[in-house]
Structure 1
Amino acid sequence: MRVKSKFRCQECGQQSTRWLGRCPGCGAWNSLVEELDQPKTVSPAAINGLLEPCPVTEVPAQEEERFPTRMAEMDRVLGGGLVPGSLILVGGDPGIGKSTLMLQVAHLLSCRMPVLYISGEESARQVRLRAERLGALSPGLLLACETDIDQVERHLRQISPPVAVVDSIQTMFKSDLASAPGSVGQVRECAAQLMRLAKTTGISIFLVGHVTKEGMLAGPRVLEHMVDTVLYLEGDRHQFFRILRGVKNRFGSTNEIGIFEMSGAGLVEVASPSAIFLTKRPKGDVPGTAVAAALEGSRPLLVEIQALVCPTGYGTPRRMTAGVDYNRVALITAVLEKRMGFNLGNQDIYVNAVGGVRLDEPAADLAVACALASSFKDIPVDPGLACAGETGLTGELRPVTGVEKRIRESFKMGFSRFLMSSRSAALSGDDYGLLRADTLAGALEMALLA
C-alpha cells in the first residue's frame, strides 16, 4: 500500500495536498516541502529502554564504547574512534576527496570487521577500479550499488555490519515520495530512516553529503541537526593538502582537525603539519611575510601569513583575503591606521594563509599585523620569529590560550624567538628567546628588522 504524502510549509506549518509556489498561510515563497503523511518514528526513550520519566541519577551510567578506525587523523577528529550506532555526515566540495577518504576508512575497518559500502553514484566496476588504485581491496569490504533507501535498509538488516558507508545521501530516494532524489523531502526522509536504523541496530553509518555553491551542505538544515557528527573536508583543489574539520560532535571535541595530503595512492596522513606548511617559505629577508603560531584543538600549527600592500589604481581600494577572516583583517587595518598612523586608505590589501589552511582564531591577529606593516613599510620581519597575539581596538596586545604549546612547537621547528603579549601566563623554565609587548606598536618594533 502506497503511503500518502503531504506538503508542509517550513515557515508556518500550513499543510497542503499539493505543492504550491507560495504558502497560502504566511505567503512565503518556495517553502512547501513534501513529507510522508504518517512517518514511523522511534523515540530515543524507547531506544534506550526508558519508557517513563525517571531521575537522571537512576539512569544507568555506561561509558560509550569506541573502536578506532586506525586512521589517526580521522580518530583525532572523531574524538578517539567510532561510537556504535552513530550517524556521521561527511561533506565537502566536489572532487575534494570525500569518496576517497571514505573508501580508505572502510578498507581499514574491513580488515577487522565486515563493512558495507553503498554507492549511489558509481557502478560496482568503477568502485573496484578506485579501490584497486588506492590499495583498498579487502574481502571484508562488501559493495552494493543501490539508491532505493528501502533496499539499503534491507541490506543493512540482512548483513548487519558494524559500519556502513552511504555515498551519497543526495542520491538516495524513497519510493513513497513523488519528489526527485536530492530534494529537501527526500534527503530528510532518507536520513531519518537511516538514523532510526542506526539507533535501533547499533550500526555506525557514514553519510557522504554534497555542498552547495555557498559551501553549505545541500538539503535541509535539519539534516545537520539529525546526525551525531558533522565533518567537513576542506582544501583547495589546486593544493595537495586536505583538512578534515569537525563542526559538530556529540561524542567529542569540535576543535580538532585532521590534515591529509592528496597523492596518487589517496589521502596520506600528515604527522607534522607545521613542517609541511613551512616547507616552501621564502628564504632570506622578504617583506610581507610572518609566521603565526595557531592552535587547532590540542594541536599547535605554524602557518605562514603573507600580505601585499600596494597603491590602488582605482578609486576604491581592494581588500581580499584567503584563509583568514576578512572582518578580522579589516579590524587590524583600522587599528594600524588609527593607532599606528599608517595611511592605508588608498592602498590595496591582500592577505593569504599559505597552504590552503583556514585560521579562525584571533591569535593570528599579530602575524597579520606584522605582515601588513612589513609590506607597507617594505621592511622584512625577523625570519627567526614566530608570534601569537590578539589585537584590541585600542591597540593593546591581548594574551591567547595554549601559549606554552605554541612556544614549544615554534622552537621545535627552528624558530629562535617568540613574540607574545606581556600579559600571557608566566612560563615555567627558561624565558630565553621570548619577547613580550603591551601594545601592537611595541610588538611591531620588535618584529620588524631595523
Structure 2
Amino acid sequence: LRLAWQHKKTIEAGHSWESGEFCMTPHAGGWAKGIEVFRDYVGQANPPRDLPRHVRDGLGFQTIWMTQAPERDPAKAYFRFEDLPRVAEDARVHGLEELVPWFWCSYFRVPIPLRLDLGTQEEFLGGVRKAKELGVNVAPFVSVHIILNREVQRYGVQPGYDDWTYHPELIPQFRPYYTHEMEGTLIEDDNPLWRKDVQAALSEWINRGVPSLTFDQFIFKEGNGRKPGLVQLIEQVRALARSKDSQSTFGSESVTDLEVESRVLDYTWNWLDYVDAGPILNVLRSPRLNCNVDDSALVVKKGFADGLYLNVMPSKPDLPNGTALISARPALSTALKEVASLRRQFLPFFVRGTFLGDSVLSRTSSAFIRAYQLGAKLLIIVLNDQMRTQSVAFTSDLGLWLPASGSYQVQSFDSAGKLLETESAGGSRWLGVTPPLQPEALAFFTIEGK
C-alpha cells in the first residue's frame, strides 16, 4: 500500500506544522467511488459555472503557428491573416469550433502590437469575423505577463532572464547565447501599473472586435486571503468581452492553482500530450483540460474518451506544431471526424454526466476503457489501444453505479455509433464483450436498469 498527498504549506526555519486528520474509507469501485464525498464538497465550495456553449459541447480547438517571433521575412510566415477563414473552415469540418492563432502579434509588450508582416489590421479583424460566420470562434494567444527587459523599468523591476528566443533556423533553436531578442522578466500580478496596462491592452482588442482571447502563463500570488489580482483583472476583462459577445471565451496556460483559475478560465492551453487526469475531470467541469495532438489518431481517441479538450496542432515536415492544416494529415482528419460525430451522439454523458474513468472495471482489461454515469445510465467506451485485433472482455459491478435492479438493458454500438444489439443482463455482475476490434477501433455500451 502506498499513500501520497500534497499540502501547500511553507514551514519556516525553527517552526513545525501538523496536518489535519486523515480519514481512511476502504471501498470498492476505485478512485471514482472514493472521490464522491470530495466531489460533493467541491460542488459546494466552488460551484460549477456555465461555459460558452461551443466549449462545453465541443471536441476541441485548433492552434496555428502563424510565424516565428524573431522572424522578419513575410515570405517565411506559415499563415497570414487572410488565411484565417480558410483555416477555420478546415477546423470546422473536423468538429472544431475554436481557433487559437499564435504570433499574430508581438509578445511581451503592452499595448499589444499587431504583426503587420502578416497583413493589415483590417485583414486580421476581417479574418476573425469571417471565421465566426463560418462557425469558428477565434481566440488569439497573447503573452503579456513577461515584459521585454527594455521596457520593465516602467514597472519598477529589474531586467530578468526569462529568455524565450527560439526559431528553427537558430543553432541551438532555443535560447542561443548570441541573441536575446525575447528576453524579459515576469511582472507579478500585484503590480498595479502592470494590471492597469494589461487591462487597457486586452480591452483595446476586445473593443476592436476580438472578444475571445487565450492567455500565456496564468501566474498569480496566493495566500493573503484575498482574490488574486490577476483573477480580478480577468474578471473585469471578461465582463467587457461578454458585453460584446455572450459566448466569448478565455483560455490560458494553467500554472498556479487550477481550482482558483476555474473561476475565469474556460479551457487550458498547456504543453501537455495525453495524461490521465481522471480525478480532476470527475470533480471540475471548468476549465476544460486540453490535450495536445500533432497527428496521432490514438491520442485523439483517448482524449475524446476522457472528455479532454483536444488542442489539435498538426505540423508540416521538419516544422513546428501548428504549421499545417488538419486536412493535410489523413489519419488525423479521419479520427477527428469519427469522434466529433460520436461526441455529438453521446453528448449528454460528456456534458452532464460524471466521469468514472476505468473505475467502472472490476479488474484490469486488455484495452483502454472509460465510463460516464448520467443519472441512472452508464456509458462505457472501449478503445483497442493495442497493435493487434482483439475482442475485449471486461467485467463491471453495475450495482456500484446504478440503482438496484433485477435486470439491465444493455445496448452496444460500433465505432460509427451504429446500434448493434440490445440485450438484457441479469444481476449487477456484468460481463461485457466487444466484437473483434481493429487497432484504434472503438466500441460503446449504454446500460440502464429496467
TM-score between the two structures when normalised by the length of structure 2: 0.36
Largest Rg, 1 or 2: 1
* Higher relative contact order (CA closer than 8 Å, sequence separation 6+): 2
